[in-house]
Amino acid sequence: MEIPRIGLDVVVIEGAEPGDLRKGPGHWPETPAPGMGGNFVLSGHRTTFGAPYLKLDKLEEGDEIRVLLPYAALSYEVTRKLVVLPDETEVVAQRGIEEISLTTCEPIYSAKQRLIIQAELSDFVLLEKAAPAQESPGA
């Protein structure tokens, strides 16, 4: 995942349990993968374990979030920024649109609330499958 405005370029891992998030932003397994028709939810840390989401609060409407997968390159445009209580998970519920939601603690150095950045799909490019390697003559 890349977010040019805040200089973020990270590998996303599968899983959003505390042990998972030590490795980087993690995909909530109960949410669809990008491009599969729904809300792709990722959680990450702001102050520990590399602090991938340290500057997430700097994002504004219209900023780009890019996700590169083996099968597609997706771009999302930030549409809203929310601050909610930890139990207000309905804000990341499936809404019938292709979007990404990034979640982290708010304010910085506290788990009192959650900062949610949501972005809708703006571009989707299927990637061509790489051609098999050719054997060199005499090999």
| 126 CB neighbour count, 10 Å cutoff | 9
What is the four-CA torsion angle of 89, 2, 126, 101, rounded to 10 degrees?
Answer: 10
**Angle at 86 (CA atoms; ends 83, 88), nearest 5 degrees:** 75
Whether 105 is catalytic is yes
- 10 Å CB burial of residue 64 (0-12, 13-18, 19+) is middle
Q: Is 45 a catalytic residue?
A: yes
Considering 27, 45, 46, 114, which one is annotated as catalytic? 45
| Catalytic residue, candidates 59, 67, 105, 121 | 105
For the chain, give the number of residues.
139
Positions marked active-site? 45, 105
